[in-house]
Structure 1
Amino acid sequence: MGKINLDSTDITILKFIIEDPKISQHTIAKKINKSQPVVGARIKKYEELGLLQYQTGINFRKANLFMVIVNLKAIDTSNVWPMAKYCPFIINAFRISGKYNICVLLASTKLEKLYKIVNFHFRMNPGIKKISMELISDFARDFILPIDFNIETLKPSMQDGCGDCDFCQNKKIMRFEQPQND
């Protein structure tokens, strides 16, 4: 499925929901001079298309957590996606343009864990040609994202990566190894 086109009514409805997720369909309908069933049908359509989603998370602006941005120049960007999916320290990853081609967000209650993850998965990796790591020291606005608190039980090391996480257990994808040609 491609990108979804939004008309001015869609944008207005979504704006109200984003500003106040608990706003009623009736209230939105009154504000935009449409009926509640019309507003309800549009909201249902947004949800079915995956355009409007609801997410519970931690407000990084208020939590005592460390978040880092790691910019990477990877030989093959598709090799980062399995790590982004399975490594519990990685909040998300993005393909970007410019001198780096991947941006990764990582979080933990301990900064030293993040250093070990970055060193093991990226700095020691021959598939990564360039790396930059920046600690986020403050947020201008609330920044709410889910976090896997199972990371508290993991003890990252330079030998085992995260250790017991699903990603590090799969040694084939862990080091971005390319399949051997026979």
Structure 2
Amino acid sequence: MKILPIEKLTLITELSKSKVIEELNLNIRPKQNFGFGNKNVESGKKFEGNIFGDNFNVTRIINYKNSFLPEINGKIIEKLNGTEIEVELKPAGFVMGFMILWFGGVSFGFIATLIGAIIGEGPIYACIIPLFMLLMGFGMSKFGFSTESEKSKKDIIEILQAKVKK
């Protein structure tokens, strides 16, 4: 079972490499930091981020807050009969760092209360609070990421007229 949500997949499209880059450029706007209000209003583009050479780094444009919105890092590889796009979806670095600290601290708290209960220093039911916090952190990261991940994959597959490589 993965604790931190990271997905990797390879997309295959019949489009040429230059056409893939063109389609991405049509659907990506430059990153807007710290924007407020409805970010989706402008120009109908689905993603914001950067394309640099054969690589891109984008996030889906949403008009609500979700800290687990996946960053999509892609590498475009030209093949004989089309193009492959290696894609990695993961939460932002700050969110990943926070969740590592969260899981580490709460795990330490759980182990400490469990050991305390075993040696008779505290009641066993005290373990419930850190266990609940662990489960809530895992549930929030899993649910928040997976719902946005599915939408992001659907949009990128649609834009690139691609299929997921098995």
TM over 0.5: no
More helix by share: 2
TM-score between the two structures when normalised by the length of structure 1: 0.25
More strand by share: 2
Bigger RCO of structures 1 and 2 (CA < 8 A, at least 6 apart):
2
